[in-house]
Chains A and B, each alone.
Chain A
Amino acid sequence: MRIRFKLNGREVEAEVEPNTLLLNLLREQFHLTGAKYGCGIGECGACTVLLDGEPILSCLTLAVEVDGREVTTIEGLAGDGELHPLQRAFLEEGAVQCGFCTPGMILTAKALLEENPNPSEDEIREYLKGNLCRCTGYVNIVKAVKKAAEEMAG
């Protein structure tokens, strides 16, 4: 099947099987390997991408579902060599260790800040609970999201 969608701001086309997963489409056909396979059953959040701005689990999403829609991956977040404030805050606050959860974590945080530009620490922790991290204990991640929110608010 042929699908057309917007990927990181660019119109793209792809030939997919009815059972092709979005995660595999992104990683294998478009070589966007920022979205990770962590569990394949929608529990760890490492495969998170944005579909029309909403965080979704690309390991549980069929590629055909994104036909005509807009997908943003971590590779599409930084504009013209400028890091997104979330990316910068994750770096500066030490919120990245092994980095495997980082793309999914940042994209989920981006969706949070669009819904709620000034979240409390508890709201951040609640919103991110579908994204697992085994390295950081989430402390510096929560700090980074808070810092990015402050910076984006100006």
Chain B
Amino acid sequence: MMAQGFRLIGESTPRMDGIAKVTGQEVYSSDIHFPNMLHARVLKSPYPHARVKRIDVSEAEKLGAIVVTYREVPDVVYCPRLVSTPEATYKDWRVLTGRPLYVGDPIAAVAAESEEMAQRALEAIDVEFEVLEPSFDPLDSMRPEKTSIHERIMYMGKEIKIENNIACTMEIEQGDVEKGFSEADVVLEREYRTNRRYHCQLEPKTAVVRPEPDGGVTIWTTTQSIHNTRLLIHEIFGIPAGKINVVKTALGGAFGSSIQTNIVVPIAVALALKAHKPVRLAYTREEDLHEHCSYQMIFNLKLGAKRDGKLTAGSLEAILDIGAHQIQAYPLLGCLVGWWVSLYKLPNLRYVGKAVYTNKVPSCAMRGFGNPQITWAVESMMDELAEELGIDPVEFKLLNHVGLGDLFWGQGPTVKSIIKSSGVEEIVRRGAKLIGWDKRPKPGEQRGRYRRGIGFGRGFHTSSAGGPVPGTAVDYTGAMLKVNEDGSFDYITALMDCGGGTLTAHAKIIAEEIGVPLECINIVRSDTQTTLYDVCTHASRGVYAGGMAALQVAREVKRKLLELAARVLDAYPHALKIRPDEERSQGVIYVEGVEGREITIGELASMARHKNWGTIAAVASVRQGSCPPHFTAYFVEVEVDTETGKVRPIRVVAGADVGSVINPKLAEGQIHGGFAMGWSMAILEDTPYDPENGDLMNRGFINNYKLPTPADLVPPDRFTVFFANTYEPTGPLGAKGIGEGALNPVAGAVANAIYNAIGIRFYELPITPIKILKALREREGG
């Protein structure tokens, strides 16, 4: 089924916050400024693992600075991410610490009248450390003789002991794995190791906190969830939730790094409460690099298949390097197995996942939440397995893929639902045709300096963490819609737009459903005090889950409008229609076929005021009962320079099944951006550590952390994006998510393309020029 008969859905419309963004008038949290505001700086551990023996802040205070140390902040152990229920939440964070666990761990903070004065005060703090033994590799960290990184953490209100630095584990077994492998004609087993990437959202983490006369605080910060920020500050500081107001500002990118409340927020709250003045804490890029990164993973993956191409069994052992703290390690162990089993049907399977502490920057979700990592490994192995079996990878993957009518594990074992729409066949077949899959070279046959290859990778991501039963992930959204007296509408939601144009999509859904021009919908700049709860903009849920709340209030408001109009027009509500009147910029309610029986929404709303009928409005808090996957397929052509080891993208063909496409140009933009991030995951990005000092080897920015520039990617005429004709029955007007599926299969497609070009497979990311040259030399000599 495909979307039909829509007026706005499927048409490209400019994003509604666009004028503010192109004129420099958009307000990000880093732009918030108050005349009497103090500037904050944070004292951080120079050691990866240490204990503070002595700290003296008297010299800093003599300079007039407000200082807080780990001794003064509330003695509360918390988890900065509040998406999961208590059963799936482990707590091991404090606002400031006397036992730093990574280089950059905050120990104390200062606030002063200028950033320069704050820095001088910071340098005046005298600290003496006792240096402890660090661990940088999860395999090393698990050895029993290693020093504990956390001896005890909190779970469900009780202390639990941590053994061998293993933060949490998960094991799942279905069917008979040994029997499954014994039935296979071909079994492959490989170890894959991913990189540890940095989100590099362009806006570094920032918090501005203003203390209020009633003892509360107002907060402007880089967050993907204003409500979870409020809940966390309530949990740590005990301020009544109603007195904590978190105000929405534009977000300069996040990619998962602000699902959790960033550490700058509680630090700035502590300073502002002590200073009784507004405090701004804006991280520098170097500090931001020490605030978050993606999860590095080691997989031992084993797949077995029969000669006819049917998979018989799979086993996955995953070791996750989570860094010094848990942000969402346990939910990730669940999602990881969910992503793995939802790619291809495995009649027998075994999964063991371990999340391990190391003395490194805490890891968090990064666009895809483990899905890009496991999909890279699986798509690499499926390509290799297809070759062993002598079957075309396209056919092999289509034969085994999880599709229509199958059980989808969405966000892990507690979030399962049945797939009700799938465009997998369509996007894979059409993509293969567009790239010229049948004409691709045979792997490793080429000689000469430049060698080209085509690779295929497919994947998916969930749309929300909704489901038919509650599970361990919180997932619901609130929305309010009211009709103004001129026929315009105020739409109020706490849901954040991370840049995808999510709220413009909501406005389109509302305008489409009611039948009014898009410009009638005003997206209200809101805050926690005036909105219903929304969990977070993550899990590609903004359009699918958030959009459903928008749709429900639109339906309710429409019902009320028609009821009132029926009185005025002397007609039956169900016989009335609404048409957009672009000239008058509003909707007109009319009786079909009876001339002259019509009223504009503005006239009706004014009448409702004069006659004291009340405000025409609706409010809803909506939980989706499903989490449909959106699917993507990438065909990528690359060129490998065998003299420099550099890889260049030549052509990209990307097909996506996102259900109804709400805003095609912005949807394509998600694919373009997903490709860029996946491309650099495959060949560029990593954050290695210096074992000598335990710090990141990259302490600057792109001079050491490689990001693609416009010159490194493909021009528009060599990037083809197309969408499947599907309609998701549980989605708002047929829509699913897009943000993460846009990235997930890219690294696998690129790795397969490199194999196709030079006949060498790589089991460690990123596939850097050095690795390529080394492998070529080993095989070809020279």
Contacts and interface: CB of A to CB of B under 8 A. Distances in A.
B278 interface: no
Contact of B24 (A32, A38, A88): A32
B498 A98 contact: yes
Interface string B2-28: 000000000010110111111111111
B21 A99 contact: yes
A95 B665 CA distance: 9
B284 interface: yes
Given A41-B700, A41-B701, A137 B713 contact: yes
B507 to A, nearest CB: 15
Interface string A16-53: 00000000000110011111111111011010000000
Given A34-B24, A44-B701, A121-B715, A39 B672 contact: no
B672 A137 contact: yes
Nearest to B721: A139
A132 B702 contact: yes
B711 interface: yes
B710 interface: yes
Given A134-B201, A137-B676, A96 B252 contact: no
B677 A103 contact: no
Nearest to B255: A134
A52 B711 CA distance: 26
A128 B23 contact: no
B501 interface: yes
Contacts of B673: 97, 134-137
Contacts of B14: 91-92, 94
Interface in A53-91: 73-75, 77-78, 83, 87-88, 90-91
A97 B23 contact: no
Chain A interface size range: 35 or more
A105 B15 CA distance: 18
A132 B201 CA distance: 10
B638 to A, nearest CB: 16
Interface in B664-722: 665-666, 668-669, 672-677, 700-703, 707, 709-717, 719
B204 interface: yes
A83 B23 contact: yes
A97 B501 contact: yes
B24 A134 contact: no
B285 A74 contact: no
B710 A142 contact: yes
A97 B703 contact: no
Given A94-B12, A97-B673, A140-B672, A126 B26 contact: no
B701 A98 contact: no
A78 to B, nearest CB: 6
B203 A75 contact: no
A153 B387 CA distance: 53
A133 B253 CA distance: 10
A126 B710 CA distance: 7
Interface in A101-125: 101-103, 106, 121-122, 124-125
Contacts of B713: 125, 137-139
Contacts of A31: 33
B573 interface: no
A43 B703 contact: yes
B297 interface: no
Nearest to B719: A139
B135 interface: no
A86 to B, nearest CB: 8
B700 A102 contact: no
B702 A98 contact: no
Contact of B253 (A91, A126, A135): A135
Nearest to B500: A97
Nearest to A145: B710
B259 interface: no
Interface in B239-255: 250-253, 255
Contact of A36 (B22, B202, B707, B710): B202
Given A46-B202, A75-B24, A134-B202, A128 B710 contact: yes
A94 B665 contact: yes
A33 B666 CA distance: 25
A138 B668 contact: no
A7 interface: no
Contact of A138 (B22, B700, B710): B710
Give the residue among A35, A41, A101 with the most B Cβ atoms within 10 A: A41
A149 interface: no
B499 interface: yes
B30 interface: yes
A99 B707 CA distance: 18
Contact of A91 (B15, B710, B719): B15
B22 A91 contact: yes
Contacts of A36: 28, 30, 202-203, 252
A78 B23 contact: yes
Nearest to A46: B202
Contact of A98 (B253, B674, B707, B714): B253
Contacts of A128: 709-711
A140 B665 contact: yes
Interface string B655-670: 0000000010110110
Interface of A: 27-28, 31-41, 43-44, 46, 73-75, 77-78, 83, 87-88, 90-103, 106, 121-122, 124-126, 128-143, 146
6 contacts: A39-B702, A43-B702, A46-B202, A75-B25, A94-B666, A138-B676
Interface of B: 12, 14-15, 17-28, 30-31, 33, 199-204, 250-253, 255, 282, 284-285, 498-501, 663, 665-666, 668-669, 672-677, 700-703, 707, 709-717, 719
Given A134-B201, A137-B672, 10 more contacts: A37-B204, A37-B282, A75-B24, A91-B14, A96-B18, A100-B201, A101-B202, A125-B710, A129-B712, A136-B673
